[in-house]
């Protein structure tokens, strides 16, 4: 029995060595405002901000070798060339890093990027996943299909839409220079932001409900017949918090919207 357990242990250790984590790094050519554009599908990934001036990508997924019949040929997936050894095509020019999937295999990546970089994500495909981004002070823009996104410790602005996914966002503070605009068809929107945030709100949900612990001063249209009565807003809420400020638009057709104090 001990020999069997020993052999199993040796096998597991050897497999861990076989599927060791792989890392690819690439520096930005400019220390000015940096941007990362991801055009990906069929992969899970997490993005974290850090100090430094480079992109670092890690994965513990092993790419299978090409079939024997493909010997001497190169893959044509997504019209991209794997120049990283981990199934990605990464190009940099003028402070903009463009990342494209270069394999049809389902992969999982962890990206470390400069914390102040802007991030744009465009999802290709309908696989559905959870995208996680944290510790980013740059602008975030996402165009998704079946995926959900979780943002933590971000400042925005955030502009994003998805067909069949959720938005869960925890703002450290709100960027007051540019608006935040988030929409989904079949999913919820859950936003946490500092209690002292000054904002103009436009919240719309067709087949869901909206909830908040903020004191929202709703805009009222006086048609001369209100006589001091408060107009009911139904599924739409337009108003201000803390006297008004940056524009925040939240729209879900078939899901609930939650706006929380942080």
Q: Are 191 and 258 in contact (CB under 8 A)?
A: yes
Q: How confident is the model at residue 238 (pLDDT cuts 50, 70, 90)?
A: very high
pLDDT of residue 4: 54
pLDDT of residue 231: 37
pTM: 0.84
Q: Are strands 189-193 and 257-261 parallel, antiparallel or unpaired?
A: parallel
Percent of the chain with pLDDT over 90: 61
Task: Report pLDDT for 134.
Answer: 97
pLDDT tens-digit map of 25-77: 999 988 788 999 998 888 888 999 999 899 999 999 888 888 888 888 888 78
Q: What is the dihedral of CA 64, 129, 60, 132, to 10 degrees?
A: 150
Higher-confidence residue of 8 and 219: namely: 219
Contacts of residue 180, defined as CB under 8 A and 6 or more positions apart, other chains included, come to: 156, 157, 158, 159, 174, 246, 247, 248, 249
CB atoms within 10 A of CB 86: 20
Q: Tokens 């943002």 map to which residue? A: 151
Q: Give me 69's structure tokens.
A: 């019949």
To the nearest whole number, what is the mean pLDDT of the chain? 86
Q: pLDDT confidence of 193, banded at 50, 70, 90?
A: very high
Calculated CA dihedral for residues 126, 132, 137, 140, nearest 10 degrees = 10
């Amino acid at each position: 029995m001990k020999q069997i357990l020993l052999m199993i242990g040796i096998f597991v250790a050897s497999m861990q060595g076989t599927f060791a984590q792989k890392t690819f790094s690439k520096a930005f050519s400019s220390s000015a405002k940096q941007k990362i554009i991801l055009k990906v599908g069929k992969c899970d990934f997490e993005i974290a901000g850090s100090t430094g001036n480079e992109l670092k990508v890690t994965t513990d997924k092993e790419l299978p070798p090409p079939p024997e019949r493909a010997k001497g040929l190169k893959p044509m997936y997504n019209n991209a060339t794997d120049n990283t050894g981990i199934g990605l095509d990464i190009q940099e020019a003028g402070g903009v890093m463009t990342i494209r999937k270069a394999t049809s295999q389902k992969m999982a990546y962890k990206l470390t990027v400069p914390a102040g970089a802007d991030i744009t994500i465009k999802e290709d495909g309908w696989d559905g996943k959870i995208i996680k981004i944290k510790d980013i002070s740059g602008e975030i823009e996402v165009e998704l299909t079946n995926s959900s996104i979780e943002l933590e410790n971000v400042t925005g602005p955030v502009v994003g839409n998805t067909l069949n996914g959720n938005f869960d966002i925890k703002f450290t503070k709100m960027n007051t220079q540019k608006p935040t605009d988030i929409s989904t068809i079949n999913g919820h929107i859950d936003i946490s932001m500092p209690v002292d945030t000054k904002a103009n709100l436009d919240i719309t949900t067709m087949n869901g409900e909206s909830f908040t612990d903020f004191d929202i001063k709703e805009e009222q249209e006086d048609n001369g017949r209100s006589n001091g009565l408060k107009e009911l807003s139904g599924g739409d809420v337009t108003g201000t918090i803390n006297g008004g400020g940056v524009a925040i638009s939240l729209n879900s057709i078939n899901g609930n919207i939650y706006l929380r104090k942080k």
